[in-house]
Structures are given as C-alpha cells and as structure tokens.
C-alpha cells in the first residue's frame, strides 16, 4: 500500500533539469524516483552526498527553493511536499553539483582536522580579515539567501487545549482517540503531511488488517470529533514554561500562477496545554565506518519508507545493521554486526558502487541501508534542561521521568518502547493517568527490539559521525587527545552536532566514540541535551505579520488627516506620528518651514497638536497627598482652577519626567506627562498607588486619547481663541491668568477644557475637546486664525521655541540628570518627602562641580552649533580627561538670527561668560562657544503673562 497517486503527476525542476513526480511525493522521493543519487555537498570537505533519511533528520539533502529571485535555502528535500512548478537547486557547490572546485578541501583534509584554524592563520596579523577569513567564509555556509525581501506572509496565533499530543504515529493517534472520545480538548500535531508515522512505512498488521487501514479509520473518527484538532505539517518545536509549546504549521510551499503563495505560508502557534503526551517516535542512527557518506548510503528505515510509502524501487540493495529493526527491510544482503561482520570501506565517489566487508569480501551495490539502532526523540523533554538517561538494554537515551517538564508524559518509541503493541499500551496508560478510560487495545506487532552496541569501525580512513559538518570519528579522538574531553568541549571544538539537524543522527554515535577514547561508559561521558527548536523555524514565521510597516502600531493624532493635507512631514515619537513641520509651496527645505513656523508663532499665532502628551486623570480624596509623593514639588496646595509645573523624580533621585498638572476640583487633578514617558509614568503611579500607599483613596485612568489637545501660542492666541470659545467664558488675562485652567464650551456648546500654559514662552493656551471633535476643531481654529496669518507648527518649531526659552526636554531629561543638573533644584520641596528625595542628596550628585544646564552661543555668529559636541577649555587637550560636558539641544533661532544651544557643563551655573571649545569630531565641527543663560528669549517671562 503506497500513498502515491500516479494519476496526478507534477512537473518540477532540480538544478534546471525538468523532472516528474506525483501527488504524495516529497521532493526526496521524487528525486529517488528519478534515480538521482547525488543531491548535495557537505559543509567542509564538499563531499558528494545523497539522501540520507526520509524525514526531518536529514542532514545531507539540503536544497534551495527558487521563486522569482527569492531563495529559500537549506530546505530538507524530505520535508518539501512536491508540487507542480517547484524549482529547486542544489547548494554549497561551485560551479556545479557534479563538479565542485571546493572539493579540493577533501584532498587537503589531513591538514583540516578538528580545530586546525585555531592553530594557524595568525601571521601576518592583517591577513586574517583581508585574506584568510574571506576565504573561509566563502567556503563555509550552506545555501544562499537572496538579498530580496521575503515576499511571503506569515501568521501567528494562540491555541488552548487540555491535551497536546505531539506525534501522530501509533501511540499519538491512539492517545488522541482515547482522549478525544472522552471529550477532552485535544490537539494532535505531526510534522509530516500524512499522519500515521511508522505505520505508513513499516508493513505490519493491526487487528488483522493493514496498519494503514487502522490509520485511515482512526483519522476518520478523529476528524469527526469537534473537540479534536488535527494538525499535520505542524512541528511542535519547543517546550517553554508552564505548558506553553511553540509549533510551526506549514500551510503550503505551493506557489500559485501569480508566482505567490496564497494566504499565510506558515503559522506560528503558541499552544497553551494543560497536559502533554509526547509521542514523537524515534530516529535511526547511522554507523560510522570508512567512507560511510557516499551517495546511495542511507538509513535503513528511510529505504523502507521510500519503498513502502512512496513506491520507490531501489533494485538490489544491502543493509548494515546492529539491531532487529532491519528485519522489516526487504534487502538482498544483510550485514549484521551482531554476527561480527561489518563494512571496512566503500567505493563510488558520486554514487555508491560497492562495499568491502571486514572479511575482505566486496559486494557490488548502489544502495546501502544502515541502522545503528534508534534514538528516542527526547528533544522536547530537554528544552527546560531536563536530562535523558541512558538505557543500556536499548542502547539509547530515554526520557528521565524525574526531569520531565510538568504535565508531560512520554510514550511509544519516544520513550524507548519500540513496538506498536507498546505504543498502544503507552497511550492507554497515559490517557488513564489523565482520567480517560479506554477499552481493549487493538492487536499489534510485539516482536522485541534487540540491538547490539556497535557504533563505529576503527581504522585509518575517515568515518563520518556528523555528516553535514564533516565530523569524523578521528576528529573526536583528536579532540580528546588535545584535552577537549568534556562532551561540551568536543562539540565546540569539532562542531559535532552543530549542523542543521542539531545532531539528531550524530550525537549518540559521537558520544560513543568519545566514551571509548576516554575509556568511560557512555552515561559517564555525558549526555545529549537539545535546545529549541526541534527543527529549524523560519525567522519570518517568528516575526509573523510584523515586518515592514507592521512592525509596530502607528498612532495617529487627531489632526493627522489635516496635517497630511497641509504638507506635514511626520516624525516618529514612540509609536506616534507627529507633524514635525508643514511645508508650504516655495519653501526650499525643512529649515525654511521651521523658521517660518517659529517666527510666525512668536510674531502672531501658531497652533500645534499636543495630544500625544500623556494625560492622566487623578481622582480621589487623597489626590493632593498622592501627588506630593510623586512630584518633587507640592501639589496639595494647588488651587482649583490652577495648573502647576511638576517635576517627577525616580527613587534614585534622577529626573523621571515633567509636565503640568491641573486641578479641576478638590478630588480631581489632570496630570500631563511627556509623550515619551506616558506609559512608564502611568505604570509608576500605579506602583506608588498599589504598592507603596495602598490605603490612599486614589484612582488613575489615562485620558490621553480621550482629549484632542492643541496649543495655541503667540501674541494673537487669545484673540483667536475668543472667536472659538463660547462667549459665556472669559479668557481675558484678568479672569484667566497664566497657569489657569477651566472647563468651557466652544463653537456653540461643545464641551472643552482650556489651560493657560506656555511651552513656547509666548502668551499661549492649550485647548482640549473630546477627540471626536479633534479633526473639526483644528480646521475651525485655522479658519478662525486666518486673519492673524495663523500657522500650524510642528515638533521642530516647538523644539526651537523651547530651546529659546531654555526648557529642558527629552534630550536633557536623559535619565542621568537630577533636578540640580537641570537647574530645577529649587523645585524639590524642602518640607515634604517625595520619591527620589533622599537619594538625590548623595555626595556625588550635589557637589559644586556637577553638571549644570546652561546656554551656549557661538562666538563667531556664523558658526553652526552642533548637538553632541563636548566642551573643552580653551587650550586644553581634546581628550576624555579634559571633558567639561556636552551639548544636548541646538536650534537656529529665527528670532535671534543665529544658532543657540543648551547643554550640561561642569559647575556651569557659575561659568557664564566663559569661552570654551565645543568639540565635534564626528561632524568635524570644532567651534568656540560662550556660556550664557539658557533663557535666550524673554528671560523674565513677560510675554507669557500678557
């Protein structure tokens, strides 16, 4: 019984050659059907290689899938479900698979033994980067990655279940059946596109019928259960904390007529399971003998799979085995090491021609199956650093019940129970442990598995242990000779087990060779542990849909549409897109726009969307007390209808954030934070509320997005707003003084809030309406401002004006500056405690010499001041020892007609008038600057109180 549908042929290409396969084929089986033996080259020696396995353990048959200039490298031929139009090419060869010049390495192999590169290439020094390394790099690597973006789509998702069953062989299917019948929510996943596991490959009977019939009827029943989810082509690749598993579901590799993959190519699932049954089966091992890597030599079980499931006719072939599992092979000649015969050597560079036995007998054959016994697939039991234990009888590592992840049971071959009968028994028991009763198990094969511990054939020639990475038994012995005897040292020194199969076929053989060299037993020598993922997972799948523009959300302000319509350039501020300036026709560059916006605002009026500042509603009987704790200055005394600037410290005394806080009633404050810190401040406030002062009556809720808020700044701002604000509200200087706040209505009854705040230093207001009105309000404001030549201004002009005023912002509140550094020492209230007060008084933070924020102007007014320059005293050497501070913010002031800067200078508060060098190597701009007050414009604040 095979699973090939010869009525559905597929055309595909291998290295440009047109070939045909069928529905049901993998690429590997299709290549074998086309009698192709040579399919790849090894990593180091570029040895010719053929297909070695029939599943994900493959280490030789790695291919590139090509599609319209995009390459997916290193695909295992056995894991590609054949489809029409597949274009696949061999890799790591130059110029061709058949003639690979890099194969010269194979002849130089005596000099390329384990670790050779640590001992040479040291002279001359400069040659490493220039010559040796490029040579090594070009020779190494496997497939190519095209430099084109990956065009495919990926999804991610979350699944919840009572029982996750990993593997759909006899033990997994039986478990699903029992658990499913009892009503549990079951997920059963298998990396193969056909469920059934070994039952699809080994000819055997279950309850008198063929194993395949049992699989079909079981699958049919499982499909009928709504509580069972069958997930073929799904590799459960990792076990994480608390029952979380990572799984990759391959939806399709198929490319449609448009040259695309429809829908998501792969889905990365995070599976939350209450219980897990690991039924992942076992992987056959090779045997290390001289030249055991010829194309045509493969695992015996793989040959059986290709014959049975894929209907491949190998003709005559031989089997080398140390165990009873190969009894199922239909070979013409079995070489059983248990009878003291083995293979001494082989011939046939690009395809096996013959094998020579230890007796000297030479057997002509093109195909050889080898079986060195079986390794249970214990990988997922190790991901949380569980260690398997050695089973002497079965000569393999089995899961150790004492180190299993929580709520995981291991059954069947994965648990070292290799018969179908034992698989069923294991399933029954595992399900019973979960409270699922079951009837009698079907009758199945129970012939015991017997294995002789035969690992490698000693000799002078190379015998491969890790096929892909070209690690031979001699390499392992040499590593031991050089003192690399710990198994971890051997792995790192020889690269054993580091290939794309993560040592699935090589680790145990390698360990056995090492144990023999050390004269220890295998369990005393070490163990194999595995890290996720079980099989490699596309980075694209881990990224899911979050590439390109979808990397992070985009937050748009209420005036976004209006800004787009008016020439705005946007800047990323966290996830927000803020308008940085609004280009008008005729302007030559961003500076033109920014200068105009700043200048116009100071001359007449400008409008800026400040919605992105965090807004937090603070309500409660203890609101004042609470704010006194979180702000350095006092808020309990703030009068209703007033605002106050607030400086917030971290507990270590550094400035955390600043903003204003308005009081609307005895129990109601509205705090604003900087855009960048809105989230962290909220989190901090919740910490203070819940963890430090749990008995205060305080309630916090973010209203950042609830209110669209615009700054209206400039000498004409009041006049403009008077046209918008409903007449019953008085915003004259007398009735609504600087730092006032009130609830008002605008435009005929629309609810609003107005704050008399100024970041620009001009007469200014901030007006807020529910966001639903945000788009219309900005249009109304601009309409109302037409007579004043109102301008929108962006973050750049905002920055210019705040620097002109010497306000600290993000560049200064950089997490390493104290209130004192910022010139805000006076804000830390003397009488009360606040968060950060105690530690802000440490000796290193309060000396005369600490950094102080000051202003700078260029001595030559035509010089450009640059950000990030360091200050050096005139005449001092330009080195770290003489560094006096650094420039944090700079701007061209259209009002002053030259550049200005603010920065931190040691003891700067007492150094006004001093001349310094502002040293900027990376822009090659060293200029002379003078220390000045950071209040460049209207230092007495007359304008904002107007």
Q: Which of 15, 66, 87, 156 binds another protein (CB under 8 A)?
A: 156
Alpha helices (runs of H) in 260-299, residue ranges in sequence order? none
Contact between 641 and another protein by CB under 8 A: the answer reads no
Single residue of 7, 402, 549, 862 touching another protein by CB under 8 A: 549
For another protein, the closer CB: 159 or 763: 159
Mark residues 88-107: x for contact with another protein by CB under 8 A, - for none: ----x---------------
Give which of 481, 471, 493, 489 is closest to 525, Cα–Cα.
489
> Does 640 contact another protein by CB under 8 A?
no
How many angstroms separate the CA atoms of 770 and 193, rounded? 54
For residue 108, count CB atoms less than 10 angstroms from its CB and return exposed for 0-12, middle for 13-18, buried for 19 or more: exposed
Site residues for another protein, window 255-274 (CB under 8 A)?
263-264, 267-268, 270, 272
**Please, which residue, 375 or 494, has the CB nearer to another protein?**
494
Please, what is the angle between helix 473-481 and helix 507-518, to 10°?
40
Q: Is position 876 an interface residue for another protein (rule: CB under 8 A)?
A: no
**Do residues 580 and 795 lie in contact, with contact meaning Cβ atoms separated by under 8 Å?**
yes
Helix H or strand E segment including 525: helix 522-525
The residues, ordered by sequence, that sit 6+ positions from 107 with a Cβ below 8 Å of its Cβ are: none
- Residue carrying the six token digits 């090779």: 286
**Pick 548 or 585: Cβ nearer another protein:** 548
End-to-end CA distance of the chain: 94
Give the one residue of 208, 448, 548, 913 binding another protein; rule: CB under 8 A: 548
Segment 886-925, which members bind another protein (CB under 8 A)? 886-889, 919-923
Q: Select 357 or 839, whichever has its Cβ closest to another protein.
A: 839
- Contact positions with another protein (CB under 8 A) in 718-747: 724, 746-747
d(CA 11, CA 442): 41
Of the candidate spans 28-36, 189-197, 595-603, 748-756, the one that interacts with another protein by CB under 8 A turns out to be 748-756
Residue 642: strand, helix, or coil: strand
Token pair 């010869």 in the structure block, residue: 6
Tokens of 209: 């019928």
Q: Does the N-terminal peptide bond of residue 95 adopt cis geometry, omega within 30 degrees of 0?
A: yes
| Residue 485 in tokens | 């005897």
Please list every residue from 482 through 521 that binds another protein, using CB under 8 A: 482-484, 486, 488-489, 492-493, 495, 500, 502
Give the integer Cα–Cα distance in Å for 633 and 300: 79
Which residues within the stretch 38-77 sit at the binding site for another protein (CB under 8 A)?
Answer: 43, 70-74
Considering only residues 396-415, where is the footprint of another protein by CB under 8 A? 406
Q: Which of residues 175-214 bind another protein (CB under 8 A)?
A: none
Using CB under 8 A as the binding criterion, the count of chain residues that bind another protein stands at: 189
d(CA 95, CA 26): 26
CB of 895 to another protein, least distance (A): 21
CA distance 469 to 467: 6
Burial 822-837 (b: 16+ CB within 10 A, else e): bbbeebbeeeeebbbb
Q: Which of 120, 224, 402, 862 binds another protein (CB under 8 A)?
A: 120
210, 356, 566, 619: residue in contact with another protein (rule CB under 8 A): 619
Quote the CA–CA distance of 706 and 261 in Å, as a whole number: 42
* CB contact set of 299 (below 8 Å; sequence gap of 6+): 52, 53, 54, 57, 284, 286, 369, 370, 371, 505
Distance of CA 646 to the CA centre of its chain: 38
831 contributes a contact to another protein by CB under 8 A? no
Q: Which of 815, 875, 897, 913 binds another protein (CB under 8 A)?
A: 815
Residues in region 568-587 near another protein by CB under 8 A: 571-573, 575-576
Q: Is 671 in the site for another protein (CB under 8 A)?
A: no
The closest alpha carbon to 795, from 719, 725, 932, 889, belongs to: 889
Which one, 548 or 897, has the nearer CB to another protein? 548
Which of the 8 DSSP states describes residue 375?
A: E
Tell me which residue of 393, 449, 398, 460 sits closest to 420, measured CA to CA: 449
Closest approach of Cβ 885 to another protein, in Å?
10
Nearer to another protein, 129 or 940 (CB): 129
Nearest-angstrom CA–CA distance, 749 and 726: 7
In the block, residue with structure tokens 């490959």 = 201
Does residue 437 belong to the site contacting another protein (CB under 8 A)? no
Local structure of residue 132 (DSSP, 8 states)? I
Rounded distance, CA 92 to CA 41, Å? 6
Of residues 687 through 706, those in contact with another protein by CB under 8 A are 687, 690-692, 694-699, 701-706
- Subset of residues 645 to 664 that bind another protein, contact rule: CB under 8 A: 650-654
Q: Which of 101, 104, 554, 946 binds another protein (CB under 8 A)?
A: 554
Which of 540, 641, 825, 907 lies at the binding interface for another protein (CB under 8 A)?
A: 540
Nearer to another protein, 20 or 867 (CB): 867
Q: What is the C-alpha to C-alpha distance for residues 258 and 152, in angstroms, rounded to an integer?
A: 13
Nearer to another protein, 769 or 905 (CB): 769
Q: CB-wise, 43 or 390, nearer to another protein? A: 43
575: DSSP letter: T
- With tokens 């045909």, the residue in question is 20
Among 557, 677, 709, 934, binds another protein (CB under 8 A): 557
Q: What residues between 268 and 327 interact with another protein by CB under 8 A?
A: 268, 270, 272
Q: How far is the CB of 572 from another protein (least distance, A)?
A: 6
385 CB-contact burial (10 Å; exposed 0-12 / middle 13-18 / buried 19+): exposed
**Please, are residues 157 and 269 in contact by the beta-carbon 8 Å criterion?**
yes
Choose one: 50-58, 168-176, 528-536, 928-936; the region binding another protein (CB under 8 A).
528-536
Residue number, 331 or 525, with CB nearest to another protein = 525
Measured from the CB atom, the residue of 41 and 421 that comes closer to another protein is 41
Least CB distance to another protein at residue 734 (A): 25
Residues 356-395 that bind another protein (CB under 8 A): 383-385
Per CB under 8 A, 450 contacts another protein:
no
CA distance 261 to 431: 39
The single-letter DSSP state of residue 772 is G
Contact positions with another protein (CB under 8 A) in 126-155: 128-129, 133-134, 136-138, 140-150, 152-155
**Shortest Å, Cβ 652 to another protein:** 5
Assign residue 697 a region (left: φ > 0; alpha: ψ between -120 and 50; beta: otherwise). beta
Beta strands 86-90 and 699-702, pairing class:
unpaired
Does 626 bind another protein (CB under 8 A)? Our answer is no
**Which of residues 155 and 205 has its CB atom nearest to another protein in the complex?**
155
Taking the complex as a whole, the smallest distance from the CB of residue 922 to another protein amounts, in Å, to 4
224 CA to centre of own chain: 37
Residue nearer to another protein on the CB measure, 280 or 479: 479
To another protein, the closest distance from the beta carbon of 661 in angstroms equals: 16
Separation between Cα atoms, residue 725 and residue 79, nearest integer Å: 69
Within 10 angstroms of residue 440's Cβ, the number of other Cβ atoms is 8
Stretch that binds another protein, among 34-42, 316-324, 437-445, 534-542 (CB under 8 A): 534-542
The interface region with another protein, picked from 238-246, 393-401, 441-449, 729-737 by CB under 8 A, is 238-246
- In the beta sheet, which residues pair with residue 579? 570
C-beta closer to another protein: residue 422 or 700: 700
Find the binder of another protein among 16, 18, 119, 848 (CB under 8 A). Answer: 119
Residues in 774-813 that interact with another protein by CB under 8 A: 774-777, 780, 810-811
Least CB distance to another protein at residue 196 (A): 26
Give the helix ranges, DSSP H, for 329-436. 379-382, 420-433
């Amino acid at each position: 019984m095979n699973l090939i549908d010869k009525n559905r042929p597929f055309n595909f290409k291998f290295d440009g050659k047109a070939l045909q396969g069928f529905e049901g084929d993998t690429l590997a089986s299709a290549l074998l059907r086309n009698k192709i033996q040579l399919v790849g080259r090894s990593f180091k020696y570029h040895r010719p290689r053929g297909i070695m396995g029939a599943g994900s353990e493959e280490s030789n048959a790695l291919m590139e899938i090509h599609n319209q200039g995009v390459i997916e490298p290193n695909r295992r031929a056995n894991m590609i479900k054949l489809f029409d139009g597949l274009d696949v090419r061999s890799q790591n060869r130059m110029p061709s698979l058949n003639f690979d010049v890099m194969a010269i390495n194979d002849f130089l192999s005596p000099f390329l033994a384990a670790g050779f590169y640590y001992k040479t290439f040291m002279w001359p020094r400069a040659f490493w980067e220039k010559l040796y390394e490029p040579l090594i790099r070009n020779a190494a690597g496997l497939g190519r990655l095209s430099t084109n973006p990956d065009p495919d789509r990926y999804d991610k998702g979350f699944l919840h279940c009572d029982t996750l069953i990993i593997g759909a062989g006899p033990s997994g299917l039986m478990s699903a059946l029992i658990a499913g019948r009892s009503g549990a929510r079951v997920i059963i996943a298998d990396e193969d596109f056909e469920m059934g596991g070994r039952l699809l490959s080994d000819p055997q009977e279950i309850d008198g019928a063929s194993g395949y019939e049992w699989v079909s009827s079981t699958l049919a029943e499982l499909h009928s259960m709504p509580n069972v989810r069958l997930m073929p082509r799904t590799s459960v690749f990792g076990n994480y904390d608390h029952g979380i598993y990572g799984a990759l579901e391959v939806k399709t590799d198929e490319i449609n007529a448009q040259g695309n993959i429809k829908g998501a190519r792969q889905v990365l699932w995070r599976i939350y399971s209450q219980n897990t049954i690991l039924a992942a089966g076992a992987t056959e091992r090779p045997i290390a003998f001289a030249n055991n890597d010829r194309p045509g030599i493969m695992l015996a079980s793989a040959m059986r799979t290709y014959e049975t499931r894929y209907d491949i006719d190998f003709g005559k072939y031989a089997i080398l085995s140390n165990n009873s599992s190969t009894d199922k092979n239909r070979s013409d000649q079995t070489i059983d090491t248990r009878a003291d015969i083995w293979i001494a050597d082989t011939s046939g560079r690009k395809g096996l021609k013959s094998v020579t036995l230890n007796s000297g007998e030479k057997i002509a054959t093109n195909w050889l199956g080898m079986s060195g016994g079986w390794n249970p697939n214990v990988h997922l039991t190790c991901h949380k650093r569980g260690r398997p234990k050695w089973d002497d009888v079965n000569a393999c590592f089995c899961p150790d019940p004492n180190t299993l992840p929580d709520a995981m049971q291991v059954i069947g071959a994965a648990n070292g129970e290799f018969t179908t009968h034992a698989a069923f028994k294991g399933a029954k028991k595992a399900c019973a442990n979960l409270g699922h009763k079951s009837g009698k198990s079907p009758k199945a094969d129970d012939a015991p598995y017997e294995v002789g511990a035969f690992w490698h054939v000693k000799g002078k020639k190379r015998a491969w242990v890790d096929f892909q990475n070209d690690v031979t038994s001699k390499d392992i012995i040499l590593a031991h000779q050089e003192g690399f005897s710990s198994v971890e040292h051997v792995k790192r020194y020889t690269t054993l087990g580091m290939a794309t199969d993560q040592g699935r076929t090589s680790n145990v053989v390698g360990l056995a060779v090492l144990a023999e060299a050390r004269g220890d037993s295998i369990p005393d020598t070490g163990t194999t542990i595995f890290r996720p993922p079980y099989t490699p997972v596309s980075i694209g799948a881990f990224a899911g849909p979050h590439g390109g523009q979808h990397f992070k959300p985009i937050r748009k302000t209420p005036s976004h549409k209006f800004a787009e319509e008016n020439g705005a350039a946007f800047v990323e501020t966290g996830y927000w897109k803020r308008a940085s300036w609004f280009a008008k026709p005729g302007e030559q560059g961003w500076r033109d726009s920014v200068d105009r916006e700043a200048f116009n605002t100071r001359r007449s009026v400008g409008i800026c969307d400040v919605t992105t500042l965090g807004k937090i509603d603070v309500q409660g009987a203890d609101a004042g007390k609470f704010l006194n704790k979180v702000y350095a200055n006092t808020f309990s005394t703030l009068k209703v209808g007033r605002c106050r600037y607030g400086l917030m410290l971290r507990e270590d005394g550094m400035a955390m954030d600043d903003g204003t806080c308005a009081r609307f009633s005895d129990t109601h404050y509205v705090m604003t934070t900087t855009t960048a810190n809105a989230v962290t401040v909220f989190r901090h406030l919740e910490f203070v509320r819940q963890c430090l002062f749990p008995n205060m009556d305080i309630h916090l809720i973010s209203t950042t997005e609830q209110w669209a808020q615009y700054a209206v700044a400039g000498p004409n701002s009041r006049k403009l707003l008077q046209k918008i604000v409903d007449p019953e509200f008085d915003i004259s200087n007398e009735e609504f003084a600087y730092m006032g706040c009130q609830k008002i209505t605008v435009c005929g009854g629309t609810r609003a809030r107005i704050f008399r705040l100024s970041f620009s230093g001009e007469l200014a207001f901030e007006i807020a309406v529910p966001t639903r009105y945000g788009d219309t309000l900005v249009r109304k404001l601009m309409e109302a401002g037409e007579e004043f030549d109102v301008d929108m201004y962006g973050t750049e002009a905002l920055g210019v004006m705040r620097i002109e005023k010497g306000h600290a912002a993000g560049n200064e509140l950089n997490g390493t500056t104290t209130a004192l550094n910022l010139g805000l020492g006076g804000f830390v209230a003397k009488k009360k405690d606040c968060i950060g007060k105690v530690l802000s008084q440490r000796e290193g933070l309060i000396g005369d010499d600490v950094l102080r924020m000051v202003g700078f102007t260029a001595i030559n007014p035509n010089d450009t001041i640059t950000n990030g320059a360091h200050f050096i005293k005139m005449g001092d050497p330009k080195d770290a020892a003489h560094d006096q501070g650094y420039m944090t913010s700079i701007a061209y002031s259209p009002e002053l007609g030259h550049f200005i800067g603010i920065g931190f200078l040691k003891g700067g508060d007492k150094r006004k008038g001093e001349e310094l060098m502002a040293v900027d190597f990376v822009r090659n701009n060293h200029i002379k600057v003078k220390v000045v007050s950071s209040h460049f414009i209207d230092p007495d604040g007359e304008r904002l109180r107007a």
